Structure 1
Amino acid sequence: MKRILRFLTIFLLSGILLGLGGLLALTLYYRNNFPVNTWINGVYCTGKSIEQVNEELAGAQEESEVSLITIVDADGAGWEIDMRAADIRPDYRDALRAYLKQNASVYWMDNLQEPVSSELAAGKYAVDREKLQTCLEGLPFVEEERKQAEGVRVRKSEEGFVLQDGNADRLNPEKACAYVEECLAKGQTAIDLAAGGCYENLPDSAYDRRQRDIWEQVSAYAERGSRIVYDMGAEQIPLTPAVTSGFLKTERDGCPVLDEEGGVVIDEAMIQAWVEALAADYDTCGREKQFQSTRGDLVTVNYVTYGTKLDVEAEKAYLLEALQNRAGNQAAAPGEAAGTQGAADSDVSDGTEMHVPAYIQKGYVRGLDDIGDTYIEIDMTEQKMYYYAAGELELETDIVTGNTGRRMGTPQGINYIHGKQRNQILRGADYESFVKYWVPVVGNIGIHDASWRGSFGGQIYQTGGSHGCINTPTANMSQLYEMVEVGMPVIMFY
């Protein structure tokens, strides 16, 4: 009996030892291999090593979708590289080791009850350096970088002068490839090359330094010009770099010429041409105008005494002085007809100088349309006179103009009011007439009341018209006299 008990005891102890030994062996086994019923990212991992599972997880990702990394250039633009093309493979080994450390040992027995499914992210990426470099070199911005010439050049463009700086912020392809590889090893898939110091400045040559000196001169010159805005009345014309660049002398390659003192050289002929072009747009003296009449048709009328004429020589002198940054900006303008003295220039808070050009003659309003919306219209065919103020018809009256039958018809043309007088005696070779209101418009011809007339309008002017003046009913003339000002345009036509 004792022998049987001893045998059973030994048998049980042996079984226990064998069981413990097996448990210990499994525990040690699962320290380096995944436990039973383990699934990671949809991959069955039981009994497999970290390297085996890593290969299967990387392969599963490649098969399931096209993965991309994003390269951000110095301008902030993003460029994508296909991981497969660059042979960039996700590396789960660090994550798998952490998983085993947490779930191996005796914890593997928990998996016996039911399967355990987990999701792991790749902690880093393995890279084939040569393939990665090939993919980087194929990106458009890298190709453009290779085409960009080195060195510094000042050149003229349609927008003005530009500095072509081929030495600043140049991409170093070797640094870029190494930095991308470094970031991928840390698990980063959005990589900013500028943040990684992949751009650098190349050293300047003596020629490059000379070009930078020229650029400083051009920039200072352009800044002086940019402060000037021509106030043309209804329109404003800024001296943009595109405009002022045309005033400088340049070499054949477009680089500005510098004088012996290192300053840019202004081409007076180009300034003259620009001011003349400005005058061609705004001058109206001696020209003709298409005028929309009150009666409805478009009539052609010549400017006679009224009109605008820029002082080209004064403006040329002003621009030369302003752009060369000499003291004093406004050249004195010669005397102007019809109250044409220009207003003084004014500076606004941002340093902009609103420059009113000098005029030899200036209209009542300034701008491409120097008639504006306040004027007197005399329609000699309809024998009507209209006064418009700010576009509104303020007065309409019948009139009697010059006697066409006696070849004293009132002349056509665009003139202006150059005076206002009360209680005048008008004298001629065969007449002497007292008028209460006298508004001269051209020569000895003016608008006045005609108390001696009993009727106005119609065809009276053809046989019983005036000596050339515009006869107006006294009551209407009284109103007109109070409303009009010296300098206002008067459009006279048949």
Structure 2
Amino acid sequence: MKKGIIITVITLVLLGVAYSAGIGFYAEKFQANTTFGDVDISNLTLEEAEKKIEEEVLERKILLKENGKELGEVSIADLGAVIDADEVIENSYLSQNPNKWVTGYFSSTEYNNVLEEHVHLDPVSVQQSLNNLGISNDERTSPTDATITYSEATGYQVEEAEEGTQLDLERVSQTILKAIQDNETTVELNQAYAQPTVTSKDERIEKAMDMIEGITNKEIVLKIEDKEVQIPQEKILEWLYFDPSNNVVFDEVAIDEYLTELNEKHATYTKERKFKSTLQGEVTVQPGTLGWSIDRETEVQNIIADLSGNKDVKRQPAISGTGYNSDSSDDIGSTYIEVDLTNQMMYYYEDGTQLFSAEIVSGMADADPPTPTIPGAYAIWDKQKDATLVGVNQQRGNDYRQPVSYWMPFDDTGQGIHDANWQSSFGGDVYMYAGSQGCINTPPALMSELFEMVEVGTPVIVF
């Protein structure tokens, strides 16, 4: 009995000594069954553990494969690896309780998923290592982003993104680091292909498709004179395209071409006109300065704004020129000056009523050189009293400065209506031998009357 007690006491003493010795031992070392990633650092000091982790990681080699084909082996050291795990290792060391060293033999302490976070590869070294193995992106297929395409048969559709075969250096590094973490010796490079930046689920794609639906269902109606012209949906579809970021863009050149077509059909600036004259009945009047056309530069931007808006639109297009009538295709109207070169007569009509008539002298058509009055549809663009006309007499070859009491220019070459006190007579065939340099010479007594009646902008029809 006494002997048993002695043995027990001795055993307890020995155990106590061993326990105390263990406390002292593990006060400076990692406990048993401690791993950092897959590196066993059991029973090592902090310094020894840090050194072992670095040595084991840097010594590792990774076999690179692509779709099962072996491409070559790289060492982690050659990849410029830097390990910054000192702080986390030290924290792990300090978190141990030496008094519980015994439990380390019956359980394990694993610091998993830390190598991947605390090992960094140098991109330049990674690239160089790949180059040394003949691995390059030069002939590889780059990824393609999802895009929106259009065809007449299917309309607008989303073309799905494609991965390609180019390697993403960052993904290559991450794949290698994961292999280190998982204690794997092989890396499959097809897991490191560069990825598209835009997929069919991208918010920009979805937003663009929603915009397309809204645009293609929109009605844009242009009120051109007394007509309404709806822009065809197929035209709108042709104008849409997408920039590299899949933002909706409108083809300004195509819109301008469409507006050019509308001008050819509706604008009056370059068109002949049918005109009901006083003495000759219906005559054809050549184009002049009178007339309007759609201001294409402004209207392109107006249409883009309409298409980008949320509502259907019905409006007048931007117009440049003179004579535009929103209620009629007649840009002359019922108030105008009529110049009949054949009969050497001039009339003024206001609201369809003739208020003025006078014999005139027009330009000399048969002189050498000729200075005829150029037929066309024009408009008064200025009114001046006591003006001085300056020019060159084409027949005599001398400069002239001719004062006049009233001057109303109507084209952009110097033609206008003015009094001519040097003319002894008007009408008939006077213009054949005493004609003007192109202006409409008017009897002085009547010119003052016409001047007071006419406003700037009044059409002048010469035929």
TM-score by length of 1: 0.44
